[in-house]
Amino acid sequence: MGTDLTKQDLPRPAASVWCSYLDEWDRSLRARNRPQTTRYNYQLAVTQLAEFLRVDLPGYLVSCGAGSDALSDDDAAEDPTDVAKAHVEWFVAWMIETRSVSTALNKYKCVQQFFNYLVQEEEMARHPMERMSQPDGSTKLVPVLSNDEVAALVATCSGKSFIDRRDLAIIRLLFDTGGRLSEVALLPLDGVDQKRDCVLLHGKGDKQRVVPFGPKTGQALVRYLRARAKHAGSKLPELWLAERGGRAFSPNGVKLMLRRRGRMAGIENMHAHRLRHTLAHEWQLAGGNEGDLMAVMGWSSREMLRHYGASAAEVRAQEAHRSLDLGSRV
């Protein structure tokens, strides 16, 4: 995709008109004091829609048997005010097929906010998603990682290169703190407190929380920071640096890195949320305090305990079933 980044590391599509509307929308989001993580997620989804229309839609239509002329004009690829319901439906269907239902649902909601703005500002006469149903986000258990899988993932970063030091620190920090991808990927350099061994994470709704990390994560961070001090871009305020170019390492870069490291470790579909789910799983499996887990994970609703604890509950139920051995009583 031909995405670019603004000075604030917000994604942007190749088409200039889409960029103009995104810049305008972002100004309104900043005026409403929406946090960087929310703005990033909103605008990443819209950028992905724009690039899907520009690059991927014709081939996707052919693969679905619809024919490349199913949407006869390509104006929507250049101007978001020309987007129709069918454009968004194809995009959501493509997201379901290439990512997951939950990802498609997230993109649906983000894109919906963008078109809400365009309608409110009278840039569009009618909302393209007006009679569109959101994808069925039926809950599926996120597969947690075993100790062997985590060890294999960490082992892929056993070298002493800058990339190995950086990737190991990111993986350990994600696993140790349960931080969201955007929270860890967008950490500023001064967000790490080496004296108290903790990080300051900026979560959803601009909520902040301090989360401690253990000795192994602390060691990985110290080793990365030594390598970072000698690296191009060391004066940047962002914690994570790209391999080349003296620039920050973007959240999308972290996502791709995790996928690549996962393949190296023999783990399919590796992503940051699996590390977050694994922490919640292990915490609840060990009988940890649920209120403390909510504080560490940045949750305000107890519903998240049920969602993230589903895999641990399943394991506990299996263990209880085995220990009772009811089938042997007859």
Digit-coded pLDDT (tens) for 111-149:
999 999 999 999 999 999 999 998 886 555 667 898 999
User: What's CA 277's distance to the chain center, in Å?
Assistant: 13
- Domain stops at, among 254, 273, 292: 273
Classify residue 313: in a domain, yes or no: no
> Do 50 and 158 sit in the same domain of this protein?
no
How confident is the model over 279-322, as pLDDT tens digits? 888 888 788 888 888 888 887 767 766 766 666 666 667 766 67
Domain identity same for 269 and 151: yes
For residues 209 and 160, state if they share a domain: yes
Please list the alpha-helical segments (H only) found in the chain: 16-31, 36-51, 57-63, 85-98, 101-120, 147-155, 162-177, 181-185, 215-229, 251-264, 272-285, 290-297, 303-308, 310-324
- What are the C-alpha distances in Å from 141 to residues 23, 61, 182, 269, 319? 37, 31, 21, 14, 18
Question: Which of 120, 135, 164 delimits the end of a domain?
Answer: 120
Helices (H), 188-302: 215-229, 251-264, 272-285, 290-297
Threshold 0.85, pTM exceeds: no
d(CA 91, CA 108): 9
298 domain-assigned: no
**CA-to-CA dists, residue 224 to 196, 212, 276, angstroms:** 18, 18, 22
CATH number for position 234 = 1.10.443.10
> Where residue 16 falls among pLDDT bands split at 50, 70, 90?
very high
pLDDT digits (tens, 9 = 90+) for 137-147: 655 566 789 89
What is the residue range of 66's domain? 4-120
Q: Over 90: is that where the pLDDT of 151 sits?
A: yes
Residue 184 forms part of a structural domain: yes
In a domain, 278, yes or no: no
pLDDT at 81: 96
Note whether residue 130 is domain-resident.
Answer: no
- The verdict on residue 128 lying in a domain is no
In terms of domains, do 217 and 259 share one? Answer: yes
